[in-house]
Chain A
């Protein structure tokens, strides 16, 4: 199924979770804020929150450089 991540289309397997998505894009869970269809998702439930077709996901990842 198709979702939108940071404005880009992405193909993901059915029943995958926010946790799976973060793994796939290689991002540490503790360092992100994730929004699913304009709702911020609590870090504690990333692995229980499933994605559905057409979801609009925003992932913002803290970085330390400067």
Chain B
């Protein structure tokens, strides 16, 4: 170990030399290497975590660079994968850490394999579909993690110890859909940094033997408001994900998004996990902010973006015309409709 590398962190009393040694023996998995994933990963690698695994399904685009701190213009020009690019950049920052970037989408089939040997998991995803899969996997394996979300200028985060503190299913109970995503209403990088700062702090606390926060925390960094609610009481004793009688609905495909390729039509049908929770009028309002190719007849909402024609039905079922790849369709759905 290079002398003095972590000296300032060891001086911080709650961590100390003991905590630093503990960190060096721990494995953190970050799901998603976008904005939150990049920010969390860089802090943890600089902090001297023992092993870091980053999972991401995506490639780098120019519009990522405003907030995804590990990537450069050259990476975007070459459309490099986030997971591999992050791995190389992070390894250059700290060669002492064992770092692995996995180019894949975490789902109900591979989730347990990807997360089972983590000491702590950080949510760097951009959609609730993947979060609910993480929630089920970690409830089943009783591993702690920290949810983080950011949008516009708002940061929100919550630490979860399955069985002890409420999980996402206890608090939300359905796959949310509201037509607001970073692609539709935007995001500023300070909201990313605020969320990641909270998530990394919780991760460091847990791995160095300090207690996690029981509060659901929200900060609007632009509007300067702060809220914290102690949610301990919302632990649901009959929760389908984290109670003794859990059925892990997102691992059994009972819930979750379903996709079908409609052969010969260049069309993919996406069926959201929860029917009827989408408001077409609210979605239409959000859509109008990024495209004028829109037709809302009250029964179906049709709009065009990225050369793809979306036909959205009232129950959330959507046809994406001009797409032949199911994963691309899922990503587009999550980007413009949410879930």
Cα A6 to Cα B174 in complex, Å, equals 25
Cα A61 to Cα B223 in complex, Å, equals 15
Contact of B229 among A8, A28, A30, A33 (CB under 8 A): A33
List residues of A (1-59) whose CB comes within 8 Å of B's CBs. Answer: 6-8, 28, 30-31, 33, 35, 40, 58-59
B36 within 8 A of A: yes
Q: Mark B19-39, 1 if CB is under 8 A from A, else 0.
A: 000000000000010111100
Contact of B124 among A6, A59, A61, A66 (CB under 8 A): A66
B162 within 8 A of A: no
Cα A7 to Cα B151 in complex, Å, equals 20
Contacts of A62 in B (CB 8 A): 149, 156, 171-172, 176
Contacts of A63 in B (CB 8 A): 149-151, 154, 156, 180
Interface bin, chain A: 10 to 19
- The answer to whether A58 and B227 have CB atoms under 8 Å apart is yes
Number of interface residues of B (CB under 8 A): 44
Which of B109-117, B125-133, B314-322 binds A?
B125-133
Q: Is the interface of A mostly helix, strand, loop or mixed?
A: mixed
Q: Mark B173-217, 1 if CB is under 8 A from A, else 0.
A: 110101011100001000000010000000000000000000011
Cα A28 to Cα B286 in complex, Å, equals 14
List residues of B (211-265) whose CB comes within 8 Å of A's CBs. Answer: 216-218, 220, 225-229, 231, 233-234
Cα A66 to Cα B97 in complex, Å, equals 24
- The answer to whether A66 and B149 have CB atoms under 8 Å apart is yes
Asked if A59 meets B227 with Cβ closer than 8 Å, knowing A64-B151, A65-B150, the reply is yes
What is the minimal beta-carbon distance from A23 to any residue of chain B, in angstroms?
A: 12
Asked if A40 meets B149 with Cβ closer than 8 Å, knowing A33-B216, A66-B126, the reply is no
Q: Mark B145-162, 1 if CB is under 8 A from A, else 0.
A: 000111100101000000
Asked if A58 meets B228 with Cβ closer than 8 Å, knowing A64-B149, A64-B176, A66-B125, the reply is yes
- The answer to whether A35 and B225 have CB atoms under 8 Å apart is no
What is the minimal beta-carbon distance from A28 to any residue of chain B, in angstroms?
A: 5
Asked if A6 meets B128 with Cβ closer than 8 Å, knowing A30-B172, A31-B176, the reply is no
Query: Which residue of chain B is the closest to A59 with respect to CB atoms?
Result: B227
- The answer to whether B149 and A65 have CB atoms under 8 Å apart is yes
